Copies of this chain bind each other. A is one copy, B any other.
């Protein structure tokens, strides 16, 4: 079955069939319907690979994130996928394992596959080779929770404000030795959280103890070790802000092993909400934001950019964060 046969059946030129297959905007609705009817009649199935060869596009959108095992992030992917599917795109998902060389290899692979658009996180936005790969990407790239590459669109959460609220809450309760666990300070979320933590301290006229900050907490095991080491200090913290996403489990496991009671022994605030935070005894105070909305916005903004709408470069959209106060954060009792 060939394009020629479809053209004959529809009574149009071969070029018209091609234009219909490539979604050319100049095709009238009447012509499109006539060609589609002929295709249906002949049982002509569009070969997407052949078609994307001609049109230079694949109807694929790639999403590359550090890791798939961040449960909360599934909400982002689910919503983004729904928006993209509605628009006729299939989502390609890949893990960067938070390594620049993998990010670069993926960008090249996406380009070779003629992916129409990419949404991704970056391990280090300042990395020169990653920057170069991005500039050679030849397709729209939207950054997820990253903010340093001004030419690219981005969707972020207001982690700075979330961390500021959490820290102020603990300071208001009388805590002065607040420990903080964060992830990679090269990346926007952890950097913003640290800014918020410091801003709250500055507003209260209090200098945080640098020995109570643990960064590069990227796994449940990291959180376990960081919590255990903090609780082994001669001068223990009285509150623990587990600001990295999804690290609460490791922290609670360490506190349990060391026999420290959440609430009475130490106040705890989680950097992201979860069933665990909500249903723990006592329930854990947590920062929340709408990851589903982030996914929706990311997909919508990327689609606009892919259509080549006349919009300024480097648009940023930020979803708000809020603090859900529960029983794990209590007044400091000296």
Contact = CB atoms under 8 A, between A and B. Distances in A.
Contacts of A13: none
Given A68-B78, A69-B74, A256-B279, A93 B93 contact: yes
A253 B60 CA distance: 40
A116 interface: no
A49 B58 contact: yes
A139 interface: no
A112 B280 contact: no
A275 interface: yes
A92 B90 contact: yes
Nearest to A71: B71
A127 to B, nearest CB: 21
Interface stretch (A40-48, A141-149, A230-238): A40-48
A91 B113 CA distance: 13
B78 A113 contact: no
Interface string A213-247: 00000001000000000000000000000000000
A50 B276 CA distance: 49
A47 to B, nearest CB: 6
Nearest to A113: B48
Contacts of A93: 91-93
Contacts of A95: 78, 81
Contacts of A248: 275
Copies in the complex: 2
A253 B275 CA distance: 9
Given A69-B71, A74-B68, A49 B52 contact: yes
A64 B22 CA distance: 27
A112 B94 CA distance: 21
Interface residues of A, number: 43
A137 to B, nearest CB: 13
B94 A49 contact: no
A180 B249 CA distance: 27
Interface string A34-65: 00000000000111111011000010100000
A75 B81 contact: no
A278 B94 CA distance: 30
Contact of A280 (B46, B53, B70, B281): B281
Contacts of A77: 68
Contacts of A274: 275-276
Contacts of A68: 74, 77-78, 81
A203 B16 CA distance: 70
A252 interface: yes
A223 to B, nearest CB: 11
Interface string A102-129: 0000000100111000000000000000
A67 interface: yes
A112 B46 contact: yes
5 contacts: A67-B78, A81-B95, A93-B93, A276-B279, A281-B281
Interface of A: 45-50, 52-53, 58, 60, 67-71, 74-75, 77-78, 81, 90-95, 109, 112-114, 220, 248-249, 252-253, 256, 274-276, 278-281
Top-5 shortest CB links A-B: A71-B71, A249-B275, A281-B281, A93-B93, A69-B74
